[in-house]
Structure 1
Amino acid sequence: MPLPRFYRLPPERQRAIIDAAKTEFAHHGPEAASYNAIIANAAISKTSAYQYFDGKDDVLGLVLSDVSDRLRRQLGTWIPAHTPDAFWARLREDSAGLVRFLEDNPLDRALADAAITRNATADERSWLAAVIENGVDLGVIRTDVDRELLTSASAAVLRVGDHWALAGGGDTDQIFSLLAGLWGPPHAR
Structure 2
Amino acid sequence: MNKNLQIATLGGGCFWCTEAVFLEVKGVEKVVSGYSGGNAPGKPTYREICSGLTGHAEVIQVTFNADIISYQDILVIFMTTHDPTTLNRQGADKGTQYRSVIYYQDEIQQKIAEEVVKQIQPYYDAKIVTEISALNIFYEAEEEHQNYYRQNSQQGYCSFVIAPKLTKLRKLHADKLA
Q: TM-score, normalised by structure 1?
A: 0.23
* Structure 1 or 2: more helix by fraction: 1
State the TM-score, normalized to the length of structure 2. Answer: 0.23
Q: Which has the higher contact order (CA 8 A, sep 6+)?
A: 2
